[in-house]
Amino acid sequence: MATAVDSFALLWRELCGSLSPYQEALALLGALCAGACGARALRALVGAARVHVGTRLPLLHLLAPPRSLAASHGAWAVVTGPTAGIGRAYARELARRGLGVVLVGRDAARLGTFAEELRGDFPVRTLEIVADFSRGPAAYGDIARALEGMDVGVLVNNVGVMPVVPGPFLTAGEEHLWELVNVNVAAAMLMTRLLLPGMLQRGRGAVVNISSGSCLRPVPYMAAYAATKAFVDSWSCALSRECSGSGVAVQTLIPFYVATRMTAPGRYLRRPWLFVPSAEEYARHAVATLGVARRTTGYWPHTLQMWFTQLMPEWLWAWLAMHINIHLWKP
Ligand SMILES: NC(=O)c1ccc[n+]([C@@H]2O[C@H](COP(=O)([O-])OP(=O)(O)OC[C@H]3O[C@@H](n4cnc5c(N)ncnc54)[C@H](OP(=O)(O)O)[C@@H]3O)[C@@H](O)[C@H]2O)c1
């Protein structure tokens, strides 16, 4: 040890002897920057291990058994867009964990079938609310009446739409642009406005807002969709800070590709694999991070993708995004 310290001191003296004060200052600055980068990388690694590994270690659960979601949050979960993909899988996962589930979607028949399936598979109560979020303000009267007085512990703002085929901004019709705003942006805010006051009053609960990996940087050929997801990310993170200390957790989920109906038109996205999980696999991982992380991809291979994305220069990301959107989505 002493030798190592002596050698370092010797090396430093030698270096300083051969460097001008200006170079010395630069070397020090370089060392500080490298140290800061190392510390940030270590923090990210430890954080990811806590969220993705710590939550799934059975040994930890034996030492400190997690409280049931119903006991810690409330008896009911409300899930928007639960008839397909991530919303459906998330609702199943919450029912498996003992929460009653309120399904808010636009297709009464599909809601009914899914509710019946949940009640058959798990000992839970369900409630269906028919609402088409693309109708804007008109959608919320019925929802508010149906949810009045319910002990809602978890709200999952999942509902979302994406252009069937990506393309230049001006190819999107006016109707689709309003749909993006009403379904991807307004639904999350207005559902939260409806249910957050009750959660704050009870001092417990969680709001889960589903954004997307496309929120991280501008995405040419999917400009408006990605912008709605950046909105959700920004709003949700700010809300999370506002609710800090209230007993209500606000979580932003940032999934990358998940094999669902939404991504089905894309080549290589139809069949699940490690980096494009099935909705069920994704939901299993994501629900485990509830109450542990304020902002997470919810799934460890997506966290690797997020790190890779953040390291990329903006021009490379834009170039890749554009080419992925042109080629990956060809039938
Ligand atoms: N899949 C991915 O790769 C991915 C990646 C990142 C983020 N996300 C986000 O994850 C969320 C779920 O995506 P997903 O892939 O599971 O989508 P999905 O398979 O297309 O399912 C969308 C759900 O939303 C419902 N919905 C759509 N428009 C609606 C409206 N106007 N009113 C009421 N319900 C409506 C659909 O109902 P119907 O069954 O009646 O159509 C369906 O239940 C979205 O917010 C999406 O942006 C997805």
Percent of the chain topping pLDDT 90: 71
What digits encode the pLDDT tens for the residues 257-267? 999 999 887 77
| Cβ of 212 below 6 Å from ligand 1 | yes
Tell me, rounded to whole angstroms, the distance of Cα 23 from its chain centroid: 45
Which atom from ligand 1 is nearest to the alpha carbon of 257? 3
Which atom from ligand 1 is nearest to the alpha carbon of 182? 31
pLDDT beyond 80 at 61 = no
pLDDT beyond 60 at 1 = no
Contact 130, 111 (CB under 8 A): yes
pLDDT of residue 33: 82
What digits encode the pLDDT tens for the residues 131-167? 999 999 999 999 999 999 999 999 999 999 998 788 9
Which burial class, exposed, middle or buried, applies to 244 when counting CB atoms under 10 A from its CB (0-12, 13-18, 19+)? Answer: exposed
pLDDT of residue 323: 87
Tell me what the pLDDT averaged over the chain comes to.
91
pLDDT of residue 10: 83
Taking each continuous run of H as one helix and of E as one strand, the counts in the chain are 13, 7
Question: Which DSSP string corresponds to 4-73?
Answer: HHHHHHHHHHHHHHHS-HHHHHHHHHHHHHHHHHHHHHHHHHHHHIIIIIGGG-HHHHHHSPPPPHHHHT
pLDDT of residue 42: 79
pLDDT of residue 206: 98
Of 107, 179, 262, 328, which is best to mutate to test ligand 1, by the most ligand atoms within 8 angstroms of its C-beta?
262
Of 39-53, 75-89, 106-120, the least confident: 39-53
Percent of the chain topping pLDDT 70: 93
pLDDT of residue 126: 98
Of 260, 285, 325, which is best to mutate to test ligand 1, by the most ligand atoms within 8 angstroms of its C-beta?
260
What digits encode the pLDDT tens for the residues 268-307? 778 899 999 999 999 999 999 999 999 999 999 999 999 9
Region 90-101: mean pLDDT is 97
Region 84-105: mean pLDDT is 98
pLDDT beyond 80 at 56 = no
Counting every residue, how long is the chain? 331
pLDDT of residue 30: 85
Question: Which DSSP string corresponds to 280-323?
Answer: HHHHHHHHHTTTT-SEE-SSHHHHHHHHHHHHS-HHHHHHHHHH
